[in-house]
């Protein structure tokens, strides 16, 4: 092996194939930019043309002859086919090419429009190598899928993504071995129909990941025949659902899920606390064990006067709330709209029963929020179980100041610690307190002093008042304390875990 100055032309063909394959794989998969190597020299051209594996990604183009040539160069290796009708308009020749090579097609992706949604009706030939089948539509028409899709023979089909295919032949055996199933743009899709969607999901015994998104509101309930039968979907380990709360509820009321299923919900609500509660009950009734497993729910509400997104992490229930788990609620207000802070705050008060609330994170921005301060006072004051309350945002400090005043007046039972623009309020049930380097001052019963000077006094006062004892104190970069101060605090409050960074 002469290695003095090895020109690349002397590399064994299999190494050049590896290089070309890497070039092909790293470009956008279906791009043919890599084929420029066939114009570099004779050896490269021969090697490229002699190795069909390099031609396994076939992107249908406007040129029918070139499309056919690409398919022929792949010979009989498993190929991935992409046909985007916006770049390669439908032609009977292309349809014939597609069908002629279906037998060794491993991945098939069709991007259709209103003029070409019938492409799929030709897919009535066996697809013995097909692993992934995806259909996406840029139009509004339903995509037509034949009842004898792939002649009912696609034993390796593990991944299916269909878009605007509400009339999919759900009884087709091609779904039997599907592991990942994505359904999007669902319209008028009653779940109660016999032999329909839910029955298909039940039969898909190896299905692990199910995603349903962009469901037209009330698609799952329109014309739905009430049924007490549940589709057994305990084999599904991950469920992603994005639709109206009403449709979410309808779905969960019709299925049985594994207690440990991973749920990722994105629901749209008309901002009624009842709908949220109904949804949570439906999730539980589907068998999901929210006691042990977190559920991620992003709820988009549209109330008169405002839009908000609320994120719930449903965690373990507590003694205070047997019916519903504790909520972590974050309100992220749309800054693009002029919001009436008073209305928003009223809506929050009306929407949530704060008796169940354990943690609340509120991001307050905009001077108009000051007008709503009295309501915020009521909002926070209504809670009897909040252990963590964080108010942040540009106007957070104003809210904080008002609450401080309320505390000093003796009308409320908590006091704030202000650090920077973030204000953390600790309540009667507070168990964990974090203080950062910006926590410069602390107001307690009208006395204002550096935090560390008043903190021992405040802890003692809590203890004397019989409030829930603080269990953990974290000082993150706060510069006012000395080792002696920490040692004294540990002696005075031996059960308090003190962490200093």
Q: Give the residues lining the site for another protein (CB under 8 A).
A: 1, 3, 5-9, 11-12, 14-15, 18-23, 25-27, 32-33, 35-45, 48-49, 61, 63, 66, 69-70
Residue number, 38 or 390, with CB nearest to another protein: 38
Q: How far is CA 99 from CA 74, 127, 136, 190, 323, in A?
A: 15, 9, 19, 33, 56
Min separation Cβ 415 and another protein, Å: 49
Min separation Cβ 26 and another protein, Å: 6
Min separation Cβ 33 and another protein, Å: 7
Min separation Cβ 53 and another protein, Å: 10
Backbone angles phi, psi at 309, to 5 degrees: -120, 130
Report strand pairing: 238-244 vs 262-269.
parallel
Residue number, 24 or 175, with CB nearest to another protein: 24
Residue number, 29 or 497, with CB nearest to another protein: 29
Q: Could you report how far apart the first and last alpha carbons of the chain are, in Å? A: 60
Q: Is the sign of the CA dihedral 221, 223, 225, 230 positive or negative? A: negative
By three-state DSSP, how is residue 188 classified?
coil
Min separation Cβ 63 and another protein, Å: 7
Which residues does residue 163 pair with via DSSP β-bridges, in sequence order?
184
Q: In this structure, what token pair is assigned to residue 64? A: 């029918």
Q: How far apart are CA 2 and CA 256, in angstroms?
A: 67
Residue number, 22 or 302, with CB nearest to another protein: 22
Residue 297 gets the label, from left (phi > 0), alpha (psi -120 to 50) or beta, of: beta
Min separation Cβ 240 and another protein, Å: 25
Q: How far apart are CA 472 and CA 8, in angstroms?
A: 65
Report strand pairing: 472-476 vs 447-450.
unpaired
Q: How far apart are CA 57 and CA 80, in angstroms?
A: 5
Residue number, 40 or 472, with CB nearest to another protein: 40
Residue number, 106 or 232, with CB nearest to another protein: 106
Min separation Cβ 75 and another protein, Å: 16
Give which of 374, 379, 291, 403 is closest to 329, Cα–Cα: 379
By three-state DSSP, how is residue 227 classified?
coil
Min separation Cβ 13 and another protein, Å: 11
Give percent helix, percent strand, percent coil of the chain, each to the nearest 5. Answer: 35, 25, 40
Min separation Cβ 45 and another protein, Å: 7
Residue number, 91 or 222, with CB nearest to another protein: 91
Residue number, 61 or 285, with CB nearest to another protein: 61
Residue number, 87 or 476, with CB nearest to another protein: 87
Min separation Cβ 24 and another protein, Å: 9
Length of the chain: 501
Question: 355: Cβ–Cβ under 8 A, 6 or more apart, which residues?
Answer: 320, 321, 382, 383, 384, 385
Question: 473: Cβ–Cβ under 8 A, 6 or more apart, which residues?
Answer: 433, 435, 489, 496, 497, 498, 499
- Confirm if 136 and 161 have CB atoms less than 8 A apart: yes
Residue number, 8 or 468, with CB nearest to another protein: 8
Q: How far apart are CA 427 and CA 385, in angstroms?
A: 8
Residue number, 9 or 93, with CB nearest to another protein: 9
Min separation Cβ 92 and another protein, Å: 20
Residue number, 55 or 150, with CB nearest to another protein: 55
Give which of 331, 396, 393 is closest to 357, Cα–Cα: 331
Residue 131 gets the label, from left (phi > 0), alpha (psi -120 to 50) or beta, of: alpha
Q: 281 exposed, middle or buried (CB, 10 Å; 0-12, 13-18, 19+)?
A: middle
Min separation Cβ 25 and another protein, Å: 4
Q: 296 exposed, middle or buried (CB, 10 Å; 0-12, 13-18, 19+)?
A: middle
């Amino acid at each position: 092996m002469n290695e003095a100055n090895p020109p690349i032309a002397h590399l064994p063909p299999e190494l050049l194939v590896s290089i070309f394959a890497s070039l092909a794989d790293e470009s956008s998969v279906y791009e043919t930019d890599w084929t420029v190597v066939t114009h570099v020299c004779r050896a490269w051209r021969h090697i490229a043309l002699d190795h069909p594996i390099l031609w396994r990604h076939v992107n249908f183009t406007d040129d029918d002859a070139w499309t056919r040539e690409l398919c022929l160069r792949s010979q009989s290796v498993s190929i991935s086919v992409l046909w985007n009708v916006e770049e390669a308009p439908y032609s009977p020749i292309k349809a014939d090419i597609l069908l002629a090579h279906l037998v060794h097609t491993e991945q098939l992706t069709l991007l259709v429009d209103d003029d070409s949604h019938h492409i799929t009706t030709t897919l009535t030939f066996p697809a013995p190598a097909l692993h992934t089948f995806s259909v996406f539509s840029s139009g509004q028409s339903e995509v037509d899928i034949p009842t004898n899709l792939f002649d009912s023979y696609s034993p390796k089909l593990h991944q299916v993504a269909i878009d605007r295919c509400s009339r999919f032949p759900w009884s087709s055996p091609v779904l039997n071995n599907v592991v990942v199933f994505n359904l999007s743009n669902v319209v008028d899709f009653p779940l109660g129909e016999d032999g329909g969607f839910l029955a298909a999901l039940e039969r898909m015994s190896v299905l692990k990941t199910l995603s349903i998104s962009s469901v037209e509101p009330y698609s799952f309930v329109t014309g739905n025949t009430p049924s007490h039968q549940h589709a057994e979907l305990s084999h599904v380990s991950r469920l992603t659902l994005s639709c109206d709360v009403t449709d979410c509820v309808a779905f969960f009321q019709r299925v049985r899920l594994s207690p440990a299923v991973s749920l990722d919900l994105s629901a749209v609500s008309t901002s009624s606390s009842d709908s949220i509660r109904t949804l949570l009950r439906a999730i539980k009734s589907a068998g999901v064990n929210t006691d042990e497993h977190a559920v991620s729910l992003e709820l988009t509400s549209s109330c008169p006067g405002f839009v908000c997104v609320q994120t719930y992490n449903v965690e373990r229930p507590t003694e205070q709330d047997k019916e519903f788990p504790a909520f972590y609620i974050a309100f992220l207000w749309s800054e693009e709209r002029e919001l009436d802070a008073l209305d928003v705050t009223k809506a929050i008060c009306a929407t949530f029963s704060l008796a169940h609330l354990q943690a609340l994170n509120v991001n307050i921005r905009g001077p108009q929020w000051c007008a709503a301060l009295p309501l915020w006072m009521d909002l926070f004051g209504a809670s009897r179980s909040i252990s963590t309350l964080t108010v942040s945002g540009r106007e957070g400090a104003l809210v904080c100041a008002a609450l401080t005043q309320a505390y000093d007046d003796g009308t409320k039972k908590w006091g704030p610690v202000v650090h920077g623009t973030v204000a953390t309020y600790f309540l009667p049930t507070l168990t964990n307190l974090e203080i950062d380097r910006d926590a410069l001052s602390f107001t307690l019963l009208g006395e204002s002093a550096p935090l560390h000077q008043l903190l021992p006094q405040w802890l003692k006062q809590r203890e004397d008042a019989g409030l829930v004892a603080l269990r953990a104190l974290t000082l993150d970069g706060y510069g006012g304390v000395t080792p002696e101060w920490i040692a004294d605090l540990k002696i005075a409050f031996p059960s308090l875990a003190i962490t200093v960074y």
